[in-house]
Every structure is written in C-alpha cells, then in structure tokens.
Structure 1
Amino acid sequence: MREKILFCLPHAGGAASTYGSWKRCSDSMITVVPIELAGKGKRIREKQYETLHSAVDDIYHYILNTLNNHCSYGIFGHSMGALLAYEIYYKMKHHNKQLPDHMFLSGRKPPHFKEDEILHKLSQEDFIEKIRQSDGTPNEFFEHEELLSIFIPILREDYRILEEYQYTEKKYKMHSDITVFYGKNDKMTKEEDMQEWKQHTDGEMELLAYDGGHFFIHEYEKPIYSVIKSKLLKGEG
C-alpha cells in the first residue's frame, strides 16, 4: 500500500498546533502533516502574506517538497483553510502536479459566495467585539491585553486576505472526490449553502453535519478523523 499523507490547513489566526491532537489520532497508515503558515506558530517572526494567493504559493511549494513518488495524499482545510485547499488544488492542476486523492473542506461556504461582512477595516474595539461574538474563542482570552495585542493583528491580516480574495470561475471542476463538514449551529455555514460545494467537483461529494458551532472540529476530532481515514484508504486492501 502506498504511503498516505494528510495535509492540514488551519483557520484564520490558527497555527499548525491546531492539528497537534490529530497526529495522536493517526496511525502508521496515514501521516498527518499540519502546515504552518507564515506569521504563526513556529513561523511567528515571518511576515504574513500579502494576498491569499501568496499563501497558496507558499503551501504549494511545501506540499511539493514533502511528497515523494511513493505516496498519495489528501488535503483538509477548516474555514480559511478550506479556501486555501480549494485554490491549492487548482495550482497543482495548473502545474500538472500530482493531485490529491480526496479533498476535505470544513466550516466554510464554497468560494463563489462573497464575504457576508468586511471585518478587517473595523476599529480595534469593533473588530474584537465581532471576534468575541464568534463561538471559538473563550471569553477569558479577551481579558488578557497582552494576548490581544499579539493575536488581533495576526487575525486581522488573515481576515484581510480573505475579504480581498476575488473568486474567479475555473475552466474545469475538481476531479477529486470531496467531503464537506459543517457545524449545525454555525451561523456562517447553512446546510443549503454547503450543498453548493457540489458545483465545484465532478467527483462524489458527501456533506456531513455535526452538533456545535464554527469550531465543532475540536469536539469531534476522532469521528472526523475516522471519516478521513476511511476515504483515504478507500479501495486499499
């Protein structure tokens, strides 16, 4: 059996450590590879990306440098990571590189949807309040001025590249099968919107809903990973 790799892309403001526990869920059959983005985690001293496409370029080269002739792979992306995963697929296709066996897209509407709000231009107070209203950050976090002073500029830059992203219709659909995950209580991902990911693949699409809000993936790590494993090992003896 060929080696299997799962590349994992984080949400806005997230670091590779988001998927640290996924590595503990994994076994010898699949290698989980969380990707660190510039300006986060171990790359905190690097400048963040000017555009979403510059992030895609960086991730593209990382994936190419990690792959070898004896492995196949899938890509998982949550929220911002789902959009990055989508654009990386097309960059791999454009350069005639090995395509993923499966795409796992989580917590984000399809790319042809426009952003509901433009947050990165808000005042500091209003921006923080919007983040507070999301369901992924503990209230205690907002009581620490030092943490806010570090994290908020990083998060604002991620929102900026997301909100400045311009969707362009592709000449062809993804050939890989896709699995789409969302939280039933996530205000940003309604079921009817998530169904529209089907427009972006000529393969099979499965839509899976979980109890919880935008960061449901932290509550359902093991069942989500189990789904991913079954898809990546499909057809293997």
Structure 2
Amino acid sequence: MTRRLFCFPHAGGQASSFAGWTGLAPDGLEIVPLEYRGRGVRYGESAYANYDQAVQELAHAISADQAGGMPYGLFGHSMGALLAFDVASVLARRGEAAPRCVFVSGRNPPHRASDAEQGELDDGRLMHLLTEVGGVPDALVSNGRFLKHYLGRFRDDLVMLRSRSTIESGVRLDCRIVVMHGEDDTAVATAWLPEWARYSRAGHDVLAFPGGHFFLHEHPDRVLPAVAEALT
C-alpha cells in the first residue's frame, strides 16, 4: 500500500532540500516536499504575512491533495517540525483525516523556544546560528550575493516564527508523534525531547541517528526506513 509523506523544510530551506529522498525512499513511500512562498517554484510569491497564514495555507494544500484518502504522514525538520505539528492540529480541528504519524525532526517541543527565535537577527548573528548547525551550503559561502539572499530568507522565517500565537498547551493529536534527532545536534536538548509526549494521545517515540542537525540528509539510508516502518 502506498503511503504519502509530506515534507516541511527547515527555516531558510525549500522543497529541493528533500530532492534526494525521492530516489531513496523504500517502495510504497511517496515523498511530497512542500514549497513555502518565495522559494523554488514559488519564487515570485511574497513571503507569508505571518505564521498562521503559513499553517492555514499548508493545511489547505494537504487537504486538497488528500481527497483520495491515501494514508499519509507529515515530516518536518527544525522550523518545519513545528509547522507540521500545527498543520496536523488544524486538520484535526477541521475533522479531516489525520496523518498516521507526525515526524518532528531536529526540534525541541513547542513550549521550549529555540535560541534562534530570540535575540537580534542581524547578518552576523544569523551566520553564527547557521554555522553552528552546519546550515550554510558551501556554494553560498563564496558567493556574497546568494549568501545575502539566503540570510534574508532565513531571517524572514525566524520573523514568521515569532508571530506564532500563544502555545495551546491543551493541543493533543490523535496520531503518534515520532521525534527524530541527530546525536550531535547542538540545536536540540535531548532531555527535552520526550516532552513531545504531551502533544499526542497515541504515544510517541524518540529516535536518535548519527550526525548533527542535518542528520536526515547525512543518513537518509537510516532515516527513510524508520519513517516507512512507522507509517506501516
């Protein structure tokens, strides 16, 4: 049976960051990378006005895609993990078919704000944040124009995250939450990750993988089989 996996990129990222997963996914797992406004094929569109607009629009896209009722999961990395969780919450409130699992990758639970979402957002600090987690592509370091564009995109996403409404502590999904992280990821606190349990009635798992913040691209051969098994 085919299962569909909707993938939410990290802050500053775009759908192409999941391009390598398409050819590596196990049989029966269809990878569907989501594109944010102003990125990739949506480059000409203006950025989201706020976080809620992003959540509502992404939830609508998944709802429209799922008209046929195919089993599916949501996979979000870093900022994308929070978006995936909130989109699942919106779909639940609408009474729509729930995902089988929500995979939250490289992200502390919602009530634990990350350092990146606090403080100044000047270019120097953004470069520091990205360098710490290995989030500056080598091709950008030597290209000032594209690096500035990338930093602007990253800044836009962090500003959008700051517009997220007050945490709804009572939100609990009816599907399982699978927490994934890299063993050397300095962007998450492993002691906090089990706290994702408070957001699901169906239970949770915490899975560690070799690598840093971008372990999912360093070791897709390990991550994708784990995703496929959880969606079975």
* Counterpart for residue 54 of structure 2: 55
Shift, 1:55, TM fit: 0.8
Instruction: State yes or no: 1:107 paired with 2:106.
Output: yes
Given that residues 174 and 202 in structure 1 are in contact (C-alpha distance below 8 angstroms), is that contact kept between their aligned partners in structure 2?
yes
Shift, 1:98, TM fit: 0.9
Shift, 1:114, TM fit: 2.2
Taking the aligned partners of 1:177 and 1:204, their CA distance within structure 2 comes to 5
* Counterpart for residue 204 of structure 1: 203
Instruction: State yes or no: 1:182 paired with 2:181.
Output: yes
Taking the aligned partners of 1:138 and 1:69, their CA distance within structure 2 comes to 38
Q: Which moved more, 1:27-36 or 1:84-93?
A: 27-36
Shift, 1:122, TM fit: 3.0
Give CA-to-partner distance per residue, 1:41-97, whole Å, 9 cap, x none. Answer: 111111111211111111111101111334111000000110001100110011111
Unaligned regions of 5+ residues in structure 2, if any?
A: none
Distance 1:143 1:31, change over 3 A: same
Taking the aligned partners of 1:148 and 1:221, their CA distance within structure 2 comes to 26
Taking the aligned partners of 1:122 and 1:189, their CA distance within structure 2 comes to 20
Taking the aligned partners of 2:75 and 2:124, their CA distance within structure 1 comes to 33
* Counterpart for residue 82 of structure 1: 81
Taking the aligned partners of 2:21 and 2:129, their CA distance within structure 1 comes to 29
- What secondary structure, in the 3-state scheme, does the structure 2 residue paired with 1:208 have? strand
* Counterpart for residue 229 of structure 1: 228
Root-mean-square deviation (Å): 1.8
Q: Which moved more, 1:36-45 or 1:157-166?
A: 157-166
* Counterpart for residue 125 of structure 1: 124
What is the identity, as a one-letter code, of the residue corresponding to 2:148?
S
* Counterpart for residue 94 of structure 1: 93
Distance 1:29 1:145, change over 3 A: same
Shift, 1:141, TM fit: 2.5
Shift, 1:177, TM fit: 1.0
**Normalising by structure 2, what TM-score?**
0.92
- What secondary structure, in the 3-state scheme, does the structure 1 residue paired with 2:191 have? helix
What is the identity, as a one-letter code, of the residue corresponding to 1:106?
S
* Counterpart for residue 217 of structure 1: 216
Given that residues 4 and 232 in structure 1 are in contact (C-alpha distance below 8 angstroms), is that contact kept between their aligned partners in structure 2?
yes
- What secondary structure, in the 3-state scheme, does the structure 2 residue paired with 1:209 have? strand
Instruction: State yes or no: 1:12 paired with 2:7.
Output: no
Runs of 4+ residues over 6 Å off in structure 1 = none
Given that residues 111 and 167 in structure 1 are in contact (C-alpha distance below 8 angstroms), is that contact kept between their aligned partners in structure 2?
no
* Count of residue pairs the alignment pairs up: 232
Taking the aligned partners of 1:40 and 1:175, their CA distance within structure 2 comes to 32
Distance 1:120 1:160, change over 3 A: farther
Instruction: State yes or no: 1:194 paired with 2:193.
Output: yes
Given that residues 71 and 100 in structure 2 are in contact (C-alpha distance below 8 angstroms), is that contact kept between their aligned partners in structure 1?
yes
Shift, 1:227, TM fit: 0.6
Taking the aligned partners of 1:156 and 1:180, their CA distance within structure 2 comes to 25
- What secondary structure, in the 3-state scheme, does the structure 1 residue paired with 2:98 have? coil
Q: Which moved more, 1:128-137 or 1:116-125?
A: 116-125
Distance 1:140 1:22, change over 3 A: closer
What is the identity, as a one-letter code, of the residue corresponding to 1:110?
P
Distance 1:108 1:167, change over 3 A: farther
Taking the aligned partners of 1:140 and 1:23, their CA distance within structure 2 comes to 23
Shift, 1:117, TM fit: 4.7
Instruction: State yes or no: 1:135 paired with 2:137.
Output: no
